[in-house]
């Protein structure tokens, strides 16, 4: 069971890192492949996002980082079979956020179901 849980966490981490890649973020079709249709995000600004609103701003380039972000302290836990919770910090242009995301395994692969970013020092 531990190996199965480790593989699930590793798969979610790999997919999270893919979603953080500026080249992926610049492609609405690639972002769409990684977001669950029921996706919900509460951004560091407090704004609520869903898959449609994220894809709209991804298409116009307004949420795409101009450079890769620095990720640290990534950890994950299996909440239930096919459900992984990740937490980590991101540093980007002097801004540090503590992030939390929930990934679920679907027939199409791992998809981000929920994400929250909280500004921190």
Provide the CB-side half-sphere exposure for 66 (13 A, CA): 2
Please give the tally of structural domains in the chain.
Answer: 1
Structure tokens at 74: 């990534």
pLDDT at 102: 98
pLDDT digits (tens, 9 = 90+) for 2-18: 799 999 999 999 999 99
Band of pLDDT at residue 24, cut at 50, 70 and 90: confident
Range of the domain at 102: 2-120
pLDDT at 72: 94
pLDDT at 55: 80
Burial of 24 by CB count in 10 Å (0-12 exposed, 13-18 middle, 19+ buried)? middle
DSSP H or E stretch at residue 23: helix 22-25
pLDDT higher than threshold 70 for residue 111: yes
pLDDT at 33: 93
Distance (Å, rounded) from C-alpha 75 to C-alpha 85?
A: 8
Kindly report the CATH number assigned to the domain that includes residue 46: 3.10.450.50
From residue 36, alpha-carbon distances to 71, 93, 103, 109, 112 in Å are: 22, 28, 8, 10, 5
* Predicted TM-score (pTM) of this structure: 0.88
pLDDT at 65: 55
pLDDT digits (tens, 9 = 90+) for 29-80: 899 899 999 999 998 888 899 988 888 877 665 555 566 789 999 999 999 9
């Amino acid at each position: 069971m531990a190996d199965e849980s480790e593989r699930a966490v590793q798969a979610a981490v790999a997919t999270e890192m893919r979603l953080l890649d500026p080249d992926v973020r610049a492609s609405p079709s690639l972002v769409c492949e990684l977001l669950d249709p029921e996706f919900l995000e509460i951004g560091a600004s407090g704004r609520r996002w869903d898959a449609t609103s994220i894809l709209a701003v991804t298409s116009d380039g307004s949420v795409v980082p101009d450079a890769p972000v620095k990720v640290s302290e990534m950890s994950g836990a299996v909440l239930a079979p096919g459900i992984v919770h990740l937490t980590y910090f991101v540093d980007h242009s002097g801004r540090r956020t503590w992030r939390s995301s929930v990934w679920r395994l679907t027939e199409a692969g791992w998809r981000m179901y929920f994400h929250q970013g909280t500004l921190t020092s």
